[in-house]
Amino acid sequence: TEIDWKAYMQEVEGFANGTLDYTQLKGDTGPLVYPAGFVYIFLGLYHATGRGSDIRLAQYLFAALYLLNLLLVFRIYCRTSKVPPYVFFFMCCASYRIHSIFVLRLFNDPVAMVILFLAINLFLEEHWSWGCLLFSLAVSVKMNILLFAPGLLFLLLQRFGLLGCIPKLCICALLQVVLGLPFLLVNPVGYLTRSFDLGRQFQFKWTVNWRFLPEEVFQNRAFHATLLLAHLAGLGLFALHRWHSSKESILTLLKDPAKRKPASPPLTINNILWHVFILFSSNFLGVCCSRSLHYQFYVWYFHTLPYLLWCTPTTKLAHMPKVLLLGVIELCWNTYPSTVCSSLSLHICHGLILLQLWYGTAPMPVSHSPSPSRKRTAMSKKAQ
């Protein structure tokens, strides 16, 4: 259970010893393929755990990280009031795989997701600059956070317009430069190709979602291009028909919010619901179209599934199928090694959720009523 942890420690040990050429940072599982934020965070864990030797202490630290993650996720769900309370039992106690990813295997995926959920909490509080800073920090730990980026860009355009969102995007870019600067100064090409390698091949033996395909199809570049086109098409359709709330053209997002008709309102409970929906559905579309999902990738979207299932209107009789979907997805992720049946079942579940999101939601009408839980008459003035 400590293979990945040892590899992480070996990768950051080179940096601790003064190696700044990213291509020279390696471990037992291969070269370092994560951005610089990963190096700094796991270097801290390297020193805190006696050069990675005190694995029990590392597990305690990740257990605390798990609890922090739940706190941040629960805070998001409390702001939306969409998910019935009993579902939180499944989120806390019913996933062996999630507990393993956090506390047993000590992957970097949970670290990135905790930072991401903290950023989303800041977005919901209208602290956009701080949220963008933490969003970029999460990306610097692992690139899967970029699956949320289309949704975040849409929200920034909706909230600030084209000119207004440029400073927020600069915050994201500047942090990446600052974190990677020691490596960029030594070997910029090596750093960029290793830490942001979008064309990296995945091993067929670890795939959870494409086991039913022949391996030659799984590794085929044409298949990868098809998935990318499907992802872009899905994002385009959702942006045009599910995320966009105005009757005007989506190009109105480029305008100054004060010049739109109607003008962008202060943050309301409806807008909070829609912020979460846009971010979570953006990530989910990326997961559905991923070239491969490995077992630790479950944490990329596990905590968003209850919201995606319950964000649509639900009768009392319709709760059971949604709980059943959660159970089948959990079963698929706990089948090792994956099988034709488990991978097909996972795609069927994903497809059912996508259909529900498409047919069960409509563009959120612009609301001008203040949030009943937040008595803020000038929320827009607090936007940072």
Task: Tell me, letter by letter, the H, E, C secondary structure of the chain.
Answer: CCHHHHHHHHHHHHHHCCCCCHHHCEECCEECCCCHHHHHHHHHHHHHCCCCCCHHHHHHHHHHHHHHHHHHHHHHHHHHCCCCCCHHHHHHHCCHHHHHHHHHCCCCHHHHHHHHHHHHHHHHCCCHHHHHHHHHHHHCCCHHHHHHHHHHHHHHHHHHHHHHHHHHHHHHHHHHHHHHHHHHHHCHHHHHHHHCCCCCCCCHHHCCCCCCCCHHHHCCHHHHHHHHHHHHHHHHHHHHHHHCCCCCCHHHHHCCHHHCCCCCCCCCHHHHHHHHHHHHHHHHHHHHCCCCCCHHHHHHCHHHHHHHHHCCCCCHHHHHHHHHHHHHHHHHHCCCCCCHHHHHHHHHHHHHHHHHHHHCCCCCCCCCCCCCCCCCCCHHHHCC
pLDDT at 260: 75
pLDDT at 253: 84
pLDDT at 142: 96
pLDDT at 244: 85
pLDDT at 373: 42
Which residue do the tokens 């909490």 mark?
Answer: 121
pLDDT single digits (tens) 133-160: 999 999 999 999 999 999 999 999 999 9
pLDDT at 2: 73
For residue 110, pLDDT over 60 is answered with yes
pLDDT at 369: 39
pLDDT at 306: 95
What is the pLDDT confidence band of residue 378, given thresholds at 50, 70 and 90?
Answer: very low
For residue 380, pLDDT over 70 is answered with no
The dihedrals phi and psi of 341, each to the nearest 5 degrees, come to -65, -45
For residue 162, pLDDT over 80 is answered with yes
pLDDT at 199: 73
For residue 314, pLDDT over 80 is answered with no
Percent of the chain scored above 90 by pLDDT?
73
Strands 30-31 and 26-27: antiparallel
Percent of the chain scored above 70 by pLDDT?
91
Separation CA 134–CA 141 (nearest Å): 11
For residue 338, pLDDT over 70 is answered with yes
Query: ∠ CA(230), CA(236), CA(237), 5° rounding?
Result: 90
For residue 265, pLDDT over 70 is answered with no
pLDDT at 268: 65
In this structure, are residues 150 and 235 in contact, taking their beta carbons and an 8 Å threshold? Answer: yes
What is the 3-state composition of the chain as percent helix, strand, coil, each rounded to the nearest 5? 70, 0, 30
Range in 268-272, 332-336, 354-358, 371-375 the model is least confident about: 371-375
* pTM for the model: 0.92
pLDDT at 95: 87
pLDDT single digits (tens) 78-97: 999 889 988 888 888 888 89
Q: What is the mean pLDDT of residues 276-284?
A: 97
Cβ neighbours around 308 below 10 Å, total: 24
* Amino acid letter, residue 64: A
Mean pLDDT of the chain: 89
pLDDT at 381: 44
pLDDT at 317: 65
The residue among 345, 148, 383, 153 whose CA lies nearest residue 265 is 383
Q: What is the mean pLDDT of residues 212-225?
A: 95
For residue 379, pLDDT over 50 is answered with no
The residue among 118, 153, 162 whose CA lies nearest residue 252 is 162
For residue 235, pLDDT over 60 is answered with yes
Range in 192-196, 263-267, 331-335, 377-381 the model is least confident about: 377-381
What is the pLDDT confidence band of residue 250, given thresholds at 50, 70 and 90?
Answer: confident
What is the pLDDT confidence band of residue 384, given thresholds at 50, 70 and 90?
Answer: low
Q: What is the mean pLDDT of residues 232-247?
A: 89
The residue among 252, 346, 255, 247 whose CA lies nearest residue 295 is 346
Which residue do the tokens 């805190």 mark?
Answer: 48
